[in-house]
Amino acid sequence: MRYVFDQGEILDESKVSVSIRNKGLNYGLGCFEGIRAYWNEYQKQLFIFRIWDHYKRLNESGNSLHIQVPYTPIQLIKWTIQLLRQNNVREDVYIRPMCFKGANTLRPDLTDPFNRVTIYCTAFEYKPKPALKVCVSSWSRTGNNMIPPQAKSTGNYLNSGLATTDALLNGFDEAIFLTDEGNVSEGPGENIFIVKNNRLITPPISDNILAGITRDTVIQIAKNHLFLSVSEHSLSRTELYSADEVFFTGTAIEIKPIINIDHRKIGKGIEGDLTKKIRFHYENIVRGNNPHYLSYCTPVY
């Protein structure tokens, strides 16, 4: 996909560059989003899922981090639609907006006012397995007094990268973080849910998670369509092992069952019934096939 957005312009990607002196690159001083748009073949339409919520979160991340985004969510939505049109996207696509310190200076302070915004879109290459075997990581989730976990900051993904790499090198598909206090937090790029006795439980924001947009959609599906009780409370590692079902949620991974944790079978060791039902609703909603959620699906054409 040839065209990208950089500082208020849509340009051919070959015209865009970042200096090796760039401060955002050198110190991880940036925030970003991951947004998906889904192609609906029947309607010949591309729907961007919850774009408003993603750009609202980008602005909130920027505010927490002293990396204020120099555009409003409405402006960014307009640019994104224009970018997708100019690339003539007619397939599922991943959209990556980023706001990072644009100066080419030393010292990792955040006082410099130049915050550069870029957006690119790409066909989705990351194809996770349909069901995951995961481990609890020896790396803790970054705490609130280290890097704000509710801000989606580029620097914080070194924490995610270390946990993911250890998991992969040890033969697992993905990792689960605990907080420093030992509560279940989230995955390196996903939120986590368990099902226990027909109740859905997910860690609260205060357990250092990113307030996931997929997590919020799943809570709505569980309450509105499956009439399940949903609670946000701290979970222990043992509650993971003894859960009936466990699954990850996230824009990239969507809804993904976890069938094994630390070499312990979860439930029957296959995708659970409730996970499957939630996944089914989610896949319909994001593609613009559920009329109750059309306000979440922004048409591009």
Restricting to residues 110-139, which ones interact with ligand PMP according to CB under 6 A?
Answer: none
34 binds ligand PMP (CB under 6 A): yes
Residues 38-47 as b or e (16 or more Cβ within 10 Å = b)? bbeeeeebbb
* 210 is a contact residue toward ligand PMP (CB under 6 A): yes
Cα separation, 164 vs 152, in Å, equals 17
Counting contacts by CB under 6 A, is residue 178 touching ligand PMP?
Answer: no
Closest approach of ligand PMP to the CB of residue 111, in Å: 27
State which residue, 42 or 126, has the beta carbon closest to ligand PMP: 126
Strand bridging mode 199-202 / 229-232: parallel
Among 62, 102, 148, 189, binds ligand PMP (CB under 6 A): 189
Closest CA to 77 of 55, 99, 45: 55
The minimum distance between CB 151 and ligand PMP, in angstroms, equals 10
CA Rg value for the chain = 19
Going by their DSSP bridges, the two strands 35-40 and 93-101 should be labelled as: antiparallel
124: number of Cβ within 10 Å? 13
265 an active-site residue? Answer: no
Give yes or no for residue 190 binding ligand PMP (CB under 6 A): yes
Tell which residue, 203, 206, 212, 209, has the closest CA to residue 234.
203
Shortest Å distance, C-beta 202 to ligand PMP: 11
Other C-beta atoms within 10 Å of 155: how many? 17
213 is a site residue for ligand PMP (CB under 6 A): yes
Binding mask 246-285 for ligand PMP (x = CB under 6 A): ---xxx----------------------------------
Find the catalytic residue in 23, 101, 133, 152.
152
Is residue 215 part of the contact set for ligand PMP (CB under 6 A)?
yes
CA 200, CA 194: separation in Å to the nearest integer?
Answer: 6
Please say which residue, 29 or 218, places its beta carbon nearer to ligand PMP. 218
In the complex, least distance from residue 125 CB atom to ligand PMP, rounded to whole angstroms: 16
Q: Give me the phi and psi of 46, to 5 degrees please.
A: -105, 120
Q: Which is nearer to ligand PMP, 22 or 164 (CB)?
A: 164
Q: Where are the beta strands (DSSP E) in 107-162?
A: 115-123, 132-140
How many residues make contact with ligand PMP (CB under 6 A)? 13
CA angle 148, 231, 142 (to 5 degrees): 20
Q: Is 30 in the site for ligand PMP (CB under 6 A)?
A: no
Active site residues: 152
Residues that bind ligand PMP in the complex, under the rule CB under 6 A: 34, 186, 189-191, 210, 212-215, 249-251
